[in-house]
Amino acid sequence: MSKKVVSLLLTATMVATLAGCGGGGDSSDPAADSGTEGGSSAGAGSTDESNADESTADAGTETPADDVEKPEEITIMVDGTVFTEENGRDQFMAKLEELTGIKINVIQPDHDAYYDVVGQQIAGGDWPDVLILASTQMSSYGSEGVLWDMADAWNNSELKKRQEANNGAGVVESMFIDGHLYGMPATHGNGCVTYVKQKWLDDAGITSLPTNFDEYYDMLLKLKEAEGVDYVVAASGFLNAEAPYINYFPEFYQDAWPSFYQKEDGTWADGFAEDSMKEAMRRLAQGVADGVVDPESNSYATSDVRNKFYDDSLGVFTYWAGTWATNIKNNCENNGLDGTMAVMPPIAEVTAGVQGQHDGNGGYIDRVSPAWCITTQCENPEGVFKYFIEAMQDGADTQFLWTYGVEGTHWSTAAETLYADTENAKTYAEGEFHMLDNLETPGSQYTKAHIDPMLALTALANDPRETTVAPEALAAQELFNANSVGAFVVPSTDAMNQNNGDLMTEKQSLVTKVALGQMTVEEAYEEYESQGYAQMSQEIVDSLNAQ
């Protein structure tokens, strides 16, 4: 396997973000739209290593698919990314039981308290058969024997074939931890693509999008000259504190990775110490010096950058795919601008890969998706995988349910007018698929169930998304899905937990100082060494390699 992009332990804020189930407006935090962009959910835990070994051994004993027994009843633990009781959960579960032939008991804590309750449930010893976990908790619980290793089940499944046919298998492969697969994502995690204002391209006489960094940088210089602006591109920080770290400046970072990753030989390293990272810092510094990169990026919030793009101060913007393509278009048009955007495929240097991971197949980074996990207390994990986990992405009726919900509760094809006698009135003809009014928040239509149709890992037959998703959102999402690679999960260690926060803060500081011309790359790394951060990094690397 080639070098792996890795995703550090997420902070509590990021975990909550990924678990968000909110709508699709122009919020101050892009990830708050994970409910419409494809974020699913999350969790926490502990047991001993011997149990983990037993779990893996059990998983290695293959059972012919036809001989897998269907469970009669299972208990699942879910957060608010699955319909709550107020939003028609009973109707949803009744339909799911009808389709799967399995009685399903549901534990669904309040969304904000989900992780606390997961921890209590696991600590109490009464585990559900299935639960949703974020990458951090999946890594921790998996290594401690709480989770069943579904690697063999997936590798021998029809699900893998369906995902491969839809460019979704790479997302699952990115979830492997030291050869173990402790959870199954239902969607891409989503990530960012680079938007360029079409009017700016036209004004500069640029008729084709750049395919490599030299062409990209030349585009920035031409856009700056044609529009007479101070800067062309900006981001909320030169280096993000959380994975995937570099997603707002992919063209400048290219194959650089500022944190820990696993090399081809299976050993761990810190990409911050490598030449690729030093070259990325030099590219950022050159961009600032040439006036194409806004130096205030070090102090901007994401909302600041969006607003500068909306008021025409910037022409290039790397931001979330999917729903945000529509948000960007609408907000530009609301400011009297042309909302037409060109969406760039990743340039060659990005396609070549962050730490060589992509191997020419993908480039933008797909953040780690939450996953459906099976506990080692489950009496029939093979059956639960085949008839519950795999069925969720069957490309047919069960996947349709997980994507759009229940007919008559969440969607309809009946002739009707929603929000009659209001400015938001919408009339549908008989047979026209449409989402219904939200039961919990009347006045807004549902957009999806658990699976975002734009982020699905398997193709859905007779998918009505063409009629429910704005064309620019779908186009941006499809480009991302076809040109992205999943960020990997880093195992947790004591050294990582104790030191990585301080280490990442120092890395951010050094990258910013170099970008702003306050120190050279050489001076930055001298400080990194003399202040003990290189040693701190090595301790984390050693702890990862000692596992």
Residue bearing tokens 């204002």: 197
Domain map (residue ranges) of the chain = 38-189+369-402, 192-366+490-545
Partners of 268 in beta bridges: 262
Residue bearing tokens 């990924």: 18
pLDDT at res. 38? 32
Contact 201, 341 (CB under 8 A): no
CA 89 – CA 404 distance, rounded (Å): 13
Cα-flanking dihedrals φ and ψ of residue 532, to 5°? Answer: 90, 5
Residue count of the chain, please give it.
547
Tell me which amino acid residue 196 is. Answer: V
The mean pLDDT value for 312-338 works out to 96
Burial class of residue 266 in the structure, from the number of CB atoms within 10 Å of its CB (0-12 exposed, 13-18 middle, 19+ buried) = exposed
User: Which tokens in the block code for residue 112?
Assistant: 């904000």
Q: Which CATH number fits domain 192-366+490-545: 3.30.565.10, 3.40.50.720, 3.40.190.10, 3.30.70.2860?
A: 3.40.190.10
pLDDT at res. 228? 98
CA 504 – CA 508 distance, rounded (Å): 6
- End-to-end Cα, the chain, rounded Å: 19
Partners of 364 in beta bridges: 484
CA 17 – CA 34 distance, rounded (Å): 7
> Residues near 70 by Cβ (< 8 Å), separated by ≥ 6?
101, 102, 383, 386, 387
Tell me which amino acid residue 271 is. Answer: G
Question: Is the C-alpha dihedral spanning 522, 525, 527, 530 positive or negative?
Answer: negative
Burial class of residue 344 in the structure, from the number of CB atoms within 10 Å of its CB (0-12 exposed, 13-18 middle, 19+ buried) = buried
Contact 115, 140 (CB under 8 A): no
The mean pLDDT value for 322-328 works out to 94
CA 431 – CA 215 distance, rounded (Å): 48
Categorize the per-residue pLDDT at 44 as very low, low, confident or very high, splitting at 50, 70 and 90.
very low
pLDDT at res. 22? 33
Cα-flanking dihedrals φ and ψ of residue 48, to 5°? Answer: -110, 165
The separation between CA 221 and the C-alpha centre of its own chain, rounded to angstroms, equals: 31
Contact 41, 370 (CB under 8 A): yes
CA torsion, points 103, 104, 105, 107, in degrees to nearest 10? 180
Question: Is the C-alpha dihedral spanning 508, 511, 516, 521 positive or negative?
Answer: positive
> Residues near 464 by Cβ (< 8 Å), separated by ≥ 6?
404, 433
CA 362 – CA 483 distance, rounded (Å): 4
Q: Which CATH number fits domain 38-189+369-402: 1.20.140.160, 3.40.190.10, 3.40.50.720, 2.40.10.480?
A: 3.40.190.10
pLDDT at res. 497? 84
CA 185 – CA 307 distance, rounded (Å): 33
Q: Which of 44-48, 78-82, 463-467 has the lowest mean pLDDT?
A: 44-48
Residues of the chain above pLDDT 70, percent: 86
pLDDT tens per residue across span 114-123: 999 999 999 9
CA 312 – CA 335 distance, rounded (Å): 9
pLDDT at res. 354? 57
pLDDT at res. 489? 84
Beta pairing, strands 364-366 & 484-486:
parallel
Please check whether the two domains, 38-189+369-402 and 192-366+490-545, share a CATH topology: yes
If we measure between CA atoms, which residue out of 32, 495, 487, 30 comes closest to residue 258? 487
If we measure between CA atoms, which residue out of 77, 183, 184 comes closest to residue 140? 183
Q: Which of 5-19, 127-141, 406-420 has the lowest mean pLDDT?
A: 5-19
Contact 152, 59 (CB under 8 A): yes
Categorize the per-residue pLDDT at 140 as very low, low, confident or very high, splitting at 50, 70 and 90.
confident
Q: Above 70 in pLDDT, residue 169?
A: yes
Planar angle of CA 466, 468, 474, nearest 5 degrees: 55
pLDDT tens per residue across span 218-248: 999 999 999 999 999 999 999 998 888 999 9
Q: Above 90 in pLDDT, residue 312?
A: yes
CA 2 – CA 265 distance, rounded (Å): 9
